[in-house]
A = this chain, B = another copy of it.
């Protein structure tokens, strides 16, 4: 069975349009390389009911859930408490997390004040996730992995998480680029898709760019992928175009 995943982005700043989320795309690419299929990405605001509802729905549905955002020191950082509530697990400042923060701030001559101590609030049975960038840990509870929203920190946490998850057969991609319009070969492309149900064939026009059309084939079986790619390249050739294999 191919492991599946959902990504849950938590934060008003994304839904207000103030911040462009870059984490989803990064995590999707990362998980795909590990052979984990991302089936949904969802963004919710800093509202407890929305976070708790989404966590419980997604963790029941998919092998893994990855959250980003809401684990800092400010009042709008409510992710840890919401995850604890979703699982019905007690949460408080935990000694192991406090020790990590204490060491980090002591080394910088910065006070571990009440606000910063909030970042040591970790659900009772959760496993800490290393944060080599700014110390404040993420955590894993059940099949839910809780990460920071700052991209550099999130990416560093993902390295540790890699040792905690089981991947599947990696997905390989092949791209056939050309100067055709999507509609020129759409019908025949559908036939190729029917003949290769296990290969995912997508058609992506890039208006005003060269080449103007990318046909992307993705799958786990290299032989099938190869055969399907040959078929798609032949379609392009039959329209008098030289396909570019990327």
Q: Which residues of A contact B (CB under 8 A)?
A: 9, 11-22, 24-32, 37-46, 50, 72-76, 110, 113-116, 118, 133-134, 150, 152-153, 171, 173, 181-183, 185-187, 189-190, 193-194, 200-205, 207-208, 216, 218
Contacts and interface: CB of A to CB of B under 8 A. Distances in A.
A75 B182 contact: no
Contact of A17 (B32, B74, B113): B32
Contacts of A200: 12
Given A24-B43, A42-B40, A150-B207, A12 B202 contact: yes
A147 to B, nearest CB: 15
A42 B41 contact: yes
B28 A15 contact: yes
Contact of A218 (B16, B21, B29, B39): B16
